[in-house]
């Protein structure tokens, strides 16, 4: 990359001029500010003590040296202590010629790096997927794709939370109030039907607590003694004991949910190499607890519950097995971590889970480390912030969530209205239009959720997300469609050009320099596990292309080499937009 070459040349210049040995990787260069000439800037102030010159003289000396020894350098500009370097136009044009037909531009050699396992989605089978789950799924998919583009061997898995007290709450409510209702009899998707009974349980439970408090109990005692929660806890004990009627209801309701999830996953465009189910992994977790007891990593309290003391690590004591012998989340996660390592042998395992679980994953890694598990150091929690709405947080128990299926349908409907208002797709078939509405709607949703740094919480505004102007998915999709329209008009005209006959304008050079950055952005997004870096890069590329498109009409250009160059620039820009968006799980239309 040109940045590495510049750093090496600066290192050599500094050593020859001032006698300071500075490794190329320790040389810091930045992109030149837009209001100055230049591509890259080097700040010379740290050299003044050894150069024994003022800032301008020091920068001038380095610039003069580089002009003699660095053939790719065209000109330089000194602004006080800032040395702005301009790369020759020929370098950018050669880059374009080399990469315009490279379908793998930006991608590292496949499977050239370590194997990585990315676990995402991890839904509960007591409710449908909602907006928060959408952010999880989109983030997990994009991170996996970006890591793969960086040369990693990537596996994806989905740990389904299909057992536990929350599942038993929905089961109890259905047994009490369901009257054998099914998805077929109700007309509801299976996950929606089960979620309905989760909400019913919560309302019943809260009323019981209120009644018990009125009878004289404290709120804490009322919460423990409410009939509904006692019944749900009894169902959990029966489930772990293998009680056949309980297991039958559990299997039936989970089957409803799995069918509903699959429909939503298909619409989101996500998939997994492996599914794990906590109903299978919790038993392995119990075995690991026994292993930890034997190694004295865990200890038992008088009531029979099993704990680990992580006070020395600043994490306090943590329950790993209840007194009645039933599992808790950490028990299941211990079993799943073991199973995942046995299946995939990945030293790095990434968990895409909300930031409210940061403590939980610190505990998981500490326990794995104390048990001397080989995968302990590779446990990484990709923590992301919650998605909030203009009216506040979502609450599943109270039924105030934004349902994933309803949101997807709403986005497609809005995309349809917006597209029809533009009036550019008349005459297309209904199937083509419906696919376009889905592509635009999902592009808007995915881009809006992914462009924000995953570690930050965010406010979701559907209307903003589908705007065809600004930092949105549809704006970038429209830019791609515009380029493809130009390429269709160009037809079979040659994109070959003679470099010597091409004159680069400022915006053309900016476009080529931005395209050149694509492999670096993919690498940076992989290192930071932040799809937002890729989102914002593609947006900046689309903005520069829009300026290029406005300032340089392609079809009217009479200089054939200049025209062929611009066609090549269009081709590579379209490829990078499509390639980058595919890493984000976003499709781009040929027409809009």
Q: What is the pLDDT of residues 209-233, one digit of tens each?
A: 999 999 999 999 999 999 999 999 9
Under the banding of pLDDT at 50, 70 and 90, the label for residue 526 is very high
Res 395 pLDDT > 50:
no
User: Would the pLDDT of 474 be above 90?
Assistant: yes
Contacts 24+ apart (CB under 8 A), 463-472: 463/414, 465/411, 466/411, 466/414, 466/415, 466/418, 466/440, 466/441, 468/418, 468/422, 471/536, 471/539, 472/444, 472/447, 472/448
Q: pLDDT-based confidence at 70, cuts 50/70/90?
A: very high
Whether the predicted pLDDT of 130 surpasses 60 = yes
Residues in the chain, overall count: 592
pLDDT tens-place string over residues 87-123:
999 999 999 999 999 999 999 999 999 999 999 999 9
**Nearest in space to 573 (alpha carbons), one of 555, 548, 536:** 548
Q: What is the CATH number of domain 404-583?
A: 1.10.730.10
Tokens of 161: 């939370």
pLDDT at 424 over 80: no
> What is the average per-residue pLDDT within 43-54?
95
Give the per-residue pLDDT at 34: 83
- Would you state the pLDDT for residue 396? 42
C-alpha distances out from residue 200 to 206, 208, 229, 245, 584, Å: 10, 12, 13, 22, 37
pLDDT of residue 400: 55
Average pLDDT, the chain: 93
Query: What integer is the mean pLDDT of 539-562?
Result: 94
Which of 112-116, 266-270, 491-495 bottoms out in mean pLDDT, i.e. has the lowest? 491-495
Q: Which of 528, 523, 520 is nearest to 4 (CA)?
A: 520
- Topology adopted by domain 2-87: Gyrase A; domain 2 (3.30.1360)
Mind spelling out the 3-state secondary structure of 176-190? HHCCCCCHHHHCCCH
Q: Name the band, by pLDDT with cuts 50, 70 and 90, for residue 546.
A: very high
Tell me the CATH class for 120-388.
alpha beta
* 3-state DSSP helix/strand/coil % of the chain, to nearest 5: 60, 10, 30
**Residue 371 CB coordination number (10 Å):** 17
Q: Of 88-97, 186-195, 387-396, 582-591, where does mean pLDDT reach its minimum?
A: 387-396
Q: Considering Cα of 539, then 540, then 544, then 550, what sign does the dihedral take? A: positive
Distances (CA, A) of 94 to 6, 425, 463, 512, 580: 17, 38, 42, 10, 22
Distance CA(358)–CA(531), nearest Å, equals 20
C-alpha dist (Å) from residue 286 to 63, 234, 275: 67, 20, 20
411-439: average pLDDT: 89
CA-derived radius of gyration, the chain: 29
Spatial distance between the Cα atoms of 486 and 545, rounded to a whole number of angstroms: 13
E runs forming strands in 213-367: 274-277, 299-300, 306-310, 316-321, 348-354
- Measured in whole angstroms, the distance separating CA 243 from the mean position of its chain's CA atoms is 41
**Every domain range in the chain assigned CATH 1.10.730.10:** 404-583
Question: E strands along 360-510, which residues?
Answer: 379-384, 387-388, 458-459
User: Above 50 in pLDDT, residue 394?
Assistant: no
What pTM was computed for the model?
0.90
- What residue spans in the chain does CATH classification 3.40.50.620 cover? 120-388
pLDDT of residue 393: 47
For residue 391, what pLDDT band results from cuts at 50, 70 and 90?
low
Q: Where in the chain is the domain with CATH 3.30.1360.70?
A: 2-87
What single DSSP character describes residue 163? -
The mean pLDDT of 460-471, rounded to a whole number, is 79
Q: Give me 231's structure tokens.
A: 């019944």
Q: What is the C-alpha separation between 78 and 57, in angstroms, rounded?
A: 9
Query: Rounded to a whole number, what is the distance in angstroms from the first to the last CA of the chain?
Result: 35
The average pLDDT across 8-22 equals: 96
Q: Evaluate if residue 332 carries a pLDDT over 70.
A: yes
- The per-residue pLDDT for 397 is 45
């Amino acid at each position: 990359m040109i940045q590495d070459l510049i750093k090496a040349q600066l290192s050599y210049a500094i050593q020859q001029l001032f006698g300071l040995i500075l490794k190329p990787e320790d040389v810091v260069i930045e992109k030149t500010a837009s209001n100055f000439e230049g591509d890259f800037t080097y700040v010379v102030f740290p050299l003044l003590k050894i150069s024994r010159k003022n800032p301008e003289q020091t920068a001038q000396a380095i610039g003069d040296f580089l002009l003699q020894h660095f053939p790719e350098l065209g000109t330089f500009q000194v602004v006080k202590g800032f040395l702005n370097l301009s790369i020759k136009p020929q370098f950018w044009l050669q880059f374009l010629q080399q990469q315009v037909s490279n379908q793998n531009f930006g991608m590292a050699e496949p499977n050239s790096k370590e194997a990585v396992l990315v676990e995402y989605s991890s839904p509960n089978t007591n409710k449908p997927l909602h907006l928060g789950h959408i952010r999880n799924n989109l983030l997990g998919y994009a991170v996996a794709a970006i890591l793969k583009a960086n040369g990693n061997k990537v596996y994806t898995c989905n740990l389904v939370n299909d057992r536990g007290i929350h599942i038993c709450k929905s089961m109890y409510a259905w047994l009490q109030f369901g009257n054998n209702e099914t998805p077929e009899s109700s007309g509801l998707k299976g996950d929606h039907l089960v979620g309905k009974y989760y909400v019913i349980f919560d309302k019943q439970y809260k009323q019981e607590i209120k009644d018990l408090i009125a009878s004289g109990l404290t709120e804490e005692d009322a919460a423990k003694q409410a009939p509904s929660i006692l019944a749900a806890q009894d169902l959990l004990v029966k489930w772990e004991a293998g009680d056949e009627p309980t297991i039958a209801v559990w299997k039936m309701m989970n089957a409803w949910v799995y069918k509903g999830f699959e429909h939503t996953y298909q619409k989101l465009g996500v998939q997994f190499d492996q599914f794990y189910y906590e109903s299978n992994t919790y038993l392995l977790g119990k075995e690991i607890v026994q292993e930890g007891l034997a190694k004295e990593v865990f200890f038992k309290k008088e009531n029979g519950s099993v704990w680990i003391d992580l006070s020395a690590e600043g994490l306090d004591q943590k329950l790993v097995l209840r007194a009645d012998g039933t599992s808790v989340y950490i028990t299941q996660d211990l079993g799943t971590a073991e199973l995942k390592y046995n299946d995939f042998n990945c030293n790095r395992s990434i968990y895409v889970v909300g930031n409210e679980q940061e403590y939980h994953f610190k505990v998981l890694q500490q326990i794995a480390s104390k048990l001397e598990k080989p995968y302990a150091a590779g446990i990484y929690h990709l923590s992301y912030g919650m998605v909030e709405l203009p009216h506040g947080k979502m609450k599943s128990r109270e039924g105030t969530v934004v349902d994933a299926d309803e949101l997807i349908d709403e986005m497609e409907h809005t995309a349809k209205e917006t597209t029809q208002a533009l009036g550019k797709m008349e005459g297309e078939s209904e199937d083509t239009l419906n696919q376009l509405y889905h592509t635009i709607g999902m592009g808007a949703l995915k881009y809006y959720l992914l462009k924000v740094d995953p570690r930050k919480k965010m406010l979701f505004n559907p209307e903003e997300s589908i705007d065809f102007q600004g930092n949105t998915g549809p704006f970038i999709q429209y830019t791609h469609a515009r380029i493809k329209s130009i390429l269709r008009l160009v037809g079979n005209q040659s994109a070959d050009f003679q470099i010597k006959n091409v004159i680069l304008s400022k915006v053309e050079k900016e476009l080529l320099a931005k395209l050149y950055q694509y492999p670096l952005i993919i690498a940076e997004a992989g290192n930071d596990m932040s799809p937002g870096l890729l989102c914002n890069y593609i947006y900046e590329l689309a903005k520069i292309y829009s300026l290029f498109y406005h300032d340089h009409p392609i079809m009217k250009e009479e200089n054939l080499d200049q025209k062929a160059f611009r066609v090549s620039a269009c081709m590579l820009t379209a490829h990078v937009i499509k390639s980058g968006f595919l890493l984000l799980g976003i499709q781009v239309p040929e027409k809009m």
